[in-house]
Structure 1
Amino acid sequence: MTTEFPDVPALSGWEEPLRFEGEVRDLEIIGEVPAEIDGAFFRVAPDPFYPNRTGTDIFFNGDGNVGAFRIKDGNVDFRQRYVQTDRFLAERKAGRSLFGAYRNPFTDDPSVAGLSRSTANTNVVVHNGTLWALKEDSLPIAMDPETLETKGFSDFGGKMRSRTFTAHPKIDPHTGEMICFGYAAKGEALPDIAYYVISASGEVTHEAWFEAPYASMIHDMAITDNYVVFPVMPLGSSIERMKRGGMHFQWEPEWPVYYGVIPRRGNGEDVRWFRAPNAFPGHTLNAHEKDGRILLDISLTLGNVFPWFPPASGDVTDPATLPTRFARVALDLRSTTKEAETFELLDIIAEFPHIDDRFVGTDYRHGFFAGMDLSVPLRLDRVRNKPFNLVFNSLVHGDAHTGKVKYWTPGETDTVQEPVFVPRSANAAEGEGFVMLLVNRLAEGRSDLVILDSTDIEGGPLAVAKLPMRMKFGLHGNWADASTFTGVTTDVQPRRV
């Protein structure tokens, strides 16, 4: 490669492109990995292989590089591979970047017009024995969960008509169904939403189409026993702005937040919209039904979390200074009101939530987060490779029933990435098991996979699997029990788009 990456914060320090594929077997372990753990922790990070052709770039635009920690019999093996997207293959063949600004096809090289722009860099989930690499501007990409071999895009046998697919589908723990949707489903900067139910065996069993109040990002979703909720955030999209070379999204400080609610088997005419004051609705923790209301637990920030998508005025506020809370949003289905009510759920500074996935859509208690313990100093002045993204110094456990919060903080020069929960057994009580997460050892320039007892995170790690390299800040990942992918045969029918 003869072109240097630009010296910009999103591609410097800890986030300098890693461009690594390979494996490290039998990681060195301090402590003892619980014998009950048998499965894999999959995660994905944006990791650009070539410098962007525009000369600048944002973190969200990197190629998806999937890492897998396979844990069995007390041992941990690590493997990492790029998702072989059409975009990635085209650029590797050309030996240079062909795609331009984030979600702006008008900045691409003419040679790739019409080719999928997917980087598959936002989330990875296992369903129907397949590892799905997800980016919300495109169809999902199937991968082999054991080898990380890319199989290709899938429209589920031609039954998914949406052009896009959410980065945050939900798996119903009772039926095994994957509940999902695509926004901008008919094309970029359009308000169309396509809602889908995919059976445990991978068949599309329900489809509904409707429009959001405005065209924007809809990053996450939530489900209950009977409903699905779509938080619409005021990050507006515009084709005209993209044609002028501008960003796909723009923060709109005057727009309200909307929460769309549709019955699990509902149609477009069944959607109800609830309005709330301007805010940035982040990731959903969970949702459930109680006394005729949907109670949605979600991160809410009073301002723009993504400064790289500024408002038209150009004014940018440091996200670290914005008030953020984990809120409970009440959507009253019995009332004719169109207003959502918001209450504080947990008094924490945190994001990237995970729960015990066996309790998705139900009245749950335990949430685990990457967060900030303000009582513990974070000494970034002592490290050379400073992090660019949201900085969290602690693993946080929050009790949604009592509001009680616990922290585990690894060290003054360490930061944490998104945690995942692993049940101790299939029949264990809610929240009884283990939490695992990557810890960035900033002063050492490398990362560790840390495993803690979920019922006693303050007690510190049960095991630390040492990596000989740093792990770029991942966007999202998930745990999958070995039974969900080992020896499972599926017919994905991948295709090129």
Structure 2
Amino acid sequence: MSNRRHFLSLAALGLASTSALADSLTYRSFHAALEQNAQMSVYANGTGDLHAQATVLGCLPADLNGVFFRNGPGRFELGGERYHHWFDGDGFAQRWQIANGKVHHIGRFVATQKFEEESRAGRFLYPAFGTYVDRKRFKKNDVINVANTNLLPFNGSVYALWEGGSATELDPLTLQTRGIKTWRDDLKAMPFSAHPKMDPDGGLWNFGVMPGSDQLAIYRLNKVGEVMRTALIPVPQLNMVHDFVVSGRHLIFLLPPYDMQPGPEVSLAGSMRWAGERRPLRAVVISRDTLALRQVFELPARSVFHLGNAYEDGACTRLDAVLHDGDVLPRPGLPMRGEMRMLADNPSNAVQITLDYTTGQAREARLFGVSEFPRVAPQVVSARHRKLLVLGSSSRHELILDSVNLIDTDSGKADSYAFGPGWQMEEHVLVPRRGARSETDGFVVGVAQDTRRQQSVLTVFEAHNIKAGPVALARLPYRAPVCFHGNFLA
């Protein structure tokens, strides 16, 4: 990538625009709300390493054995100050070991350069996505890498992933931090997104974006982690992209309409201005064979974080996504100061989008209402799928996901189970049985927060019968930090 230096220098303009926690209002307002509302505990500060055997209620399936790796933000407070955005917290990696009817859990902070320096200083030093901090200057994006978004088992190791920088390698058994992973010397410090997609051959696709660079970096790694192909693709107004999908012939990115307007004492999130009144949501399609831009489609302006899967259907590509009305970037900042807002402010829908290359038109069909974290069975990634797993909300009033739903994408029917008040669900995944013959021949595994008991709970469902409820719950004797994403390694 001959343009690597240019890519990173442009990206640094956006990162350098962030800077210092000017008040303690966020800290005080959150802790006042926490005293009144136990549901706020899922946004409370994590303090250190965790290790315990869970208490199993019900019966863990005999053929469910493996490790569920999870990652998310764990440290939100330091030196009496609190971050302003949920995405800012330092990464806290977790390992749920399921074997012989027992569940063991360990969790520890990812020892990034940022985490170690700030721990020694006893206060935040570097900028975060949604919080203005400028106590210490930096020149490289990996200095502020929080490694807090996903945990990827790959080629015998485990990687903590973040949007704007390198993967961080961890020991797969102990979660001890090994250090920054450089896939190839000329790719050092290039952003390696938190949502890589596995190929049937064991390799993976991934991408990287830095706001302000207007370039999309594409990577193709083989199953032993060697970089086989790369590309830098110019894409104008490329200011936010979190996820993508890979079909048989294409890589597809949904780009919500944000403008980047850096300013003094403004966080990176604060510099992202919603432009939905002027621009559409764009679907950018890249050819897998050539890594060249094939086509751009336009849809009504919405925000998007997560996509499900994509497959080819004749002259069309079909893909799943969760689309949110309007600007959702400020919303994860609300619980950081102790607020829960009406879901009606930015309602979401899980949809299936059809990209028609002949007509140049994009169509969408609604699959499910308020939802997030779409996943499909690993054996159908990039191929035709008929089941989409999402979390949903049974509340019309608060930002709480409390149901697990497996949607039939052909009929639109959902097999659902709601945990109800006092629970908050984290992302769930489909785990196939060995030799699975269908997408529901296996299990749905996830984590839930029981806010009434202040416990984190591993949940296990039979994938063919979600509505029957979990066949097993594995309760920890403590609350572990809420995670964003993870993967199951059988």
TM-score (norm 1): 0.84
Per the TM alignment, residue 328 of structure 1 is displaced from its structure 2 partner at its CA by 1.5
CA 1:214–1:372: 2 relative to 1, 3 Å: same
Instruction: Please name the residue that 1:259 is paired with.
Output: 283
Question: Aligned match of 1:307 in 315, 324, 330?
Answer: 330
Between stretches 284-293 and 322-331, larger displacement belongs to: 322-331
Report the counterpart of residue 46 of structure 2 in structure 1: 18
More helix by share: 2
> Residue 180 of structure 1 corresponds to which residue in structure 2?
206
Aligned to 2:336: none
Candidates 123, 127, 132, aligned match of 1:100: 127
Structure 2 match to 1:65:
92
Q: What is the CA deviation profile of residues 71-120 of structure 1, one whole-angstrom value per residue up to 9, with x for unaligned ones?
A: 1111110000111111111112223211134267x832235554621111
Deviation at 1:159, TM superposition (A): 4.7
1:371–1:392: 8 Å Cα contact kept in structure 2? yes
Match of 1:383 in 2: none
Counterpart mapping for 1:277-292 below 5 A: 277-292=300-315
Alignment match, 1:381: none
Match among 412, 417, 424 for residue 433 of structure 2: 424
Question: Once structures 1 and 2 are overlaid, which stretch shifts more, 468-477 or 351-360?
Answer: 468-477
**Aligned 8 A contact 2:87 2:332 in 1:** no
Report 1:59-208 matches (<5 A).
59-102=86-129, 107-110=133-136, 112-114=138-140, 116-160=143-187, 163-172=190-199, 174-184=200-210, 188-208=211-231
Q: Could you tell me which runs of 5 or more consecutive residues in structure 2 were left unpaired when the two chains were aligned.
A: 1-22, 35-39, 334-339
Of the structure 1 ranges 242-251 and 41-50, higher mean CA displacement relative to structure 2 is found in: 242-251
Q: Is the 8 A contact 2:303 2:328 kept in 1?
A: yes
For 1:47, what is the secondary structure of its paired residue? strand
Q: CA deviation at 1:396?
A: 0.9
* Counterpart contact for 2:129–2:267, Cα < 8 Å: no
> Which SS does the other structure have where 2:117 is aligned?
helix
Deviation for aligned residue 1:134: 0.8
* Alpha-carbon shift at residue 50 of structure 1 (Å): 4.1
- Which residue type is aligned with residue 282 of structure 2? Y
On the 8 A contact 2:245/2:253 being kept in 1, the answer is: yes
CA gap of 1:357–1:242, structure 2 versus 1, over 3 A, is: farther
Post-superposition shift, 1:298?
Answer: 0.7
Flag the 1:162–1:431 CA change in 2: closer, same or farther, 3 A. Answer: farther
Contact in 2 for aligned 1:206/1:265 (Cα 8 Å) = no
Q: Secondary structure at the match of 1:60?
A: helix
Mapped pair 1:221 → 2:247: no
Using structure 2 for the length normalisation, give the TM-score: 0.85
Return closer, same or farther for 1:274/1:317 CA change in 2, 3 Å cut-off: farther
Contact conserved, 2:387 with 2:409, CA < 8 A, in 1? yes
Matched, 1:330 2:351: no
Aligned partners of 1:307 and 1:318 also within 8 Å: no
Paired with 2:243 and 2:318, the residues of 1 have a C-alpha distance of: 15
- 8 A contact 1:53–1:97 mirrored in 2: no
Partner Cα distance (1:159, 1:459) in 2: 52
SS of the residue 1:91 aligns to: helix
Counterpart residue number, 1:439: 448
> Which residue matches 2:394?
373
CA distance in 1 between partners of 2:159 and 2:167 (Å): 6
Q: CA shift at 1:343, angstroms?
A: 2.1
Q: State yes or no: 1:478 paired with 2:490.
A: no
Distance across 2 between alignment mates of 1:162 and 1:478: 24
User: Relative to structure 1, is the Cα distance of residues 242 and 367 closer, same or farther in structure 2, using a 3 angstrom cutoff?
Assistant: farther
Residue 343 of structure 1: aligned partner: 365
Q: Contact between 1:54 and 1:100, CA under 8 Å: does it hold in 2?
A: no
Q: 1:271 to 1:281 in 2, by over 3 A?
A: same
State the match for 2:9 in structure 1.
Answer: none
CA distance in 1, matches of 2:146, 2:236: 28
Q: Among 258, 261, 272, which residue is 1:235 paired with? A: 258
C-alpha spacing 1:130/1:35, structure 2 compared with 1 (3 Å): same
- Percent identical among aligned pairs is 27
Q: Is the 8 A contact 1:215 1:237 kept in 2?
A: no
1:395 aligns with 2:404: yes
Measure how far apart 1:426 and its partner are. 3.5
Q: Distance in 2 between matches of 1:267 and 1:368?
A: 29
Counterpart amino acid of 2:100? Answer: D
Decide whether aligned partners of structure 1 residues 309 and 365 sit closer, same or farther in structure 2, where only a CA change above 3 A counts.
closer
Question: For residues 400 and 408 of structure 1, what CA distance do their matches in structure 2 show?
Answer: 18
> C-alpha offsets along residues 368-396 of structure 1, whole Å, 9 cap, x if unaligned?
2111236xx99xxxxxxxxx9x3112111
Q: Is the 8 A contact 2:260 2:272 kept in 1?
A: yes
SS at match of 1:110: coil
State whether structure 2 residue 68 is matched by structure 1 residue 46: no
Deviation at 1:342, TM superposition (A): 1.9
Partners of 2:348 and 2:422 in 1: CA distance: 23
Q: What residue in structure 2 maps to residue 493 of structure 1?
A: none
Residue type at the aligned position of 2:328: V
Indicate if the aligned counterparts of 1:251 and 1:309 stay in contact, CA closer than 8 A.
no
Structure 1 residue matching 2:427: 3-state secondary structure: coil
Greater CA drift, 356-365 or 54-63 = 54-63
* Worse overlay, 153-162 or 464-473: 153-162
Residue aligned with 2:434, SS: coil
- Contact in 2 for aligned 1:307/1:317 (Cα 8 Å): no
Distance in 2, matches of 1:19 and 1:181, equals 32
Is 1:293 paired with 2:302?
A: no
Look up the equivalent residue of 1:73 and give its one-letter code: N
Post-superposition shift, 1:161? 5.7
